[in-house]
Amino acid sequence: MKCRFPDAVQGSDAASIHGRTGGIALSILTISRQLGSFGDEIAEALARKLDWELINRNQLVPRFFADISDSREKHLLNESAKFFLSQTKAGGTYLDVLKESLLDLAGRQSAVLVGFGSQIIFADFRDSLHIRITAPENIRQARIRKQFHVSENEAIQILETADRKHKRFVSAVFGIDLTDSGNYDLTLNTALLSVDECVATILSLQREHSLRLQIEAECEQCDSIDHQAEVSLFKNPSEADFAKILDMYQIDWKYEPKTFPVEWDAEGNVTMAFSPDFYLTKFDTYLELTTMNQKYVTQKNKKMKKMRELYPGTNVKIIYKKDFYSLIDRFSMGSSDS
């Protein structure tokens, strides 16, 4: 969907403005958590807010292995990490079945996956984010004592057992160290962060990430060039001033996320391209500032005309010098009326 705010924005489609439809339709969030870190609570809240399915370790056997295992094998799958590496009757390991089933699921729906090394299974999955939730030992102990009404020693024991089991599962099945920060896109320490704060942070990252992937996919589809991975710095003070105005209205923008080739030579080399300064993500609009002399304005007009011809449906506008300074003047007067 090109226009994220069509003629009438349908509330039921509101998620589409955050990148869940269009180029990138499905997403996976994996949550690895320490016991007592509020990781489960965060995962549940995320699944509820996103309206995505929540899948944890307890659901693996009934969901993915019910038809291919007898009661003994089910028991072993629940209790032994290494059993995942055993061969199934149909050939291939239980781990292979798990990977296939999860990747198949990810092709059909979005989901929040908690534990069981899902961050490793989806390490190379395009629209996935891997989150690790931790908390300091003393805080986890206090939470466990409160939750289970146990003594300090019992809490220490519960945590040691849980940490050991988590680590052993990922190490035995995937040969990976669970605590390696390289496995995660984001690690949150809940010592001082509430569940709500963590959820808001993850949701914000998920939205931005989906949007970045959506722009990336659009670039692939229409042969434009994706600049999002580059560090973007404003080329002149006018652009910085304009960004301040957009920030004032809390309008999300990206700076020069794409280049649109508009002219090629006989060998197919790009001889002219257009990189609009701003992309307003929720309104699918590109804006180009022209605060320089008329010679460049004419060139930009030409590029914009070609861009409209070559990339139909792309909303692009040029903000001319006079209009730009009129905007700046208005905001220096403190007006907010449109």
Partner 1 sequence: MAEYKQRRILYSTEALQAKVAEIGRHISRDYAGKELVLVGVLKGSLYFFADLTRAIDIPIGVDFIAIGSIPNTTNQTGIVRITKDLDLDITGKHVLVIEDIIRTGLTTAYLVQNLDARKPASISVCSLLVNPDQQLINVPISYFGYEITNTWLIGYGMDISEKGRNLPYIAEIEKINS
Which residues are at the interface with partner 1 (CB under 8 A)?
3, 5-12, 14, 17, 244-251, 280, 282-285, 287, 315, 317, 319, 323, 327, 331-332, 334-338
User: For residues 199 and 319, which CB has a smaller minimum distance to partner 1 in the complex?
Assistant: 319
User: For residues 10 and 269, which CB has a smaller minimum distance to partner 1 in the complex?
Assistant: 10
User: For residues 240 and 292, which CB has a smaller minimum distance to partner 1 in the complex?
Assistant: 240
The distance of closest approach from Cβ of residue 271 to partner 1 in the complex, given in angstroms and rounded to an integer, is 29
The distance of closest approach from Cβ of residue 240 to partner 1 in the complex, given in angstroms and rounded to an integer, is 11
User: For residues 18 and 143, which CB has a smaller minimum distance to partner 1 in the complex?
Assistant: 18
Q: Which residue has the tokens 């403005």?
A: 17
Q: Which residues pair with 316 in a beta bridge?
A: 286
The distance of closest approach from Cβ of residue 317 to partner 1 in the complex, given in angstroms and rounded to an integer, is 6
User: For residues 9 and 103, which CB has a smaller minimum distance to partner 1 in the complex?
Assistant: 9
The distance of closest approach from Cβ of residue 331 to partner 1 in the complex, given in angstroms and rounded to an integer, is 5
User: For residues 221 and 336, which CB has a smaller minimum distance to partner 1 in the complex?
Assistant: 336
The distance of closest approach from Cβ of residue 41 to partner 1 in the complex, given in angstroms and rounded to an integer, is 23
Edge to edge, what strands does the sheet with 258-264 contain?
Answer: 225-226, 258-264, 270-274
- Give buried/exposed letters for 247-266 (b at 16+ CB in 10 A, else e): eeeeebbbbbbbbbbbeeee
CA nearest neighbour of 285 among 276, 293, 294 = 276
User: For residues 193 and 243, which CB has a smaller minimum distance to partner 1 in the complex?
Assistant: 243
Q: What angle do CA 285, 313, 243 make, to 5 degrees?
A: 10
Instruction: Look at residue 23 and give its three-state secondary structure.
Output: coil
The distance of closest approach from Cβ of residue 297 to partner 1 in the complex, given in angstroms and rounded to an integer, is 15
Q: Count the alpha carbons within 13 Å of 221 in the hemisphere toward its beta carbon.
A: 13
The distance of closest approach from Cβ of residue 234 to partner 1 in the complex, given in angstroms and rounded to an integer, is 15
Q: Which two tokens stand for residue 175?
A: 């040969």
Amino acid at 63: R
Q: Which two tokens stand for residue 275?
A: 């990189």
User: For residues 135 and 202, which CB has a smaller minimum distance to partner 1 in the complex?
Assistant: 202
CA nearest neighbour of 261 among 274, 276, 280 = 274
230-237 CB contacts, 8 Å cutoff, 24+ apart: 232/256, 236/291
Alpha-carbon distances of 34 from 130, 139, 194, 225, rounded to whole Å: 14, 12, 15, 41
What secondary structure letter does DSSP report for 87?
A: B
C-alpha–C-alpha distance, residues 276 and 287, integer Å: 6
The distance of closest approach from Cβ of residue 248 to partner 1 in the complex, given in angstroms and rounded to an integer, is 4
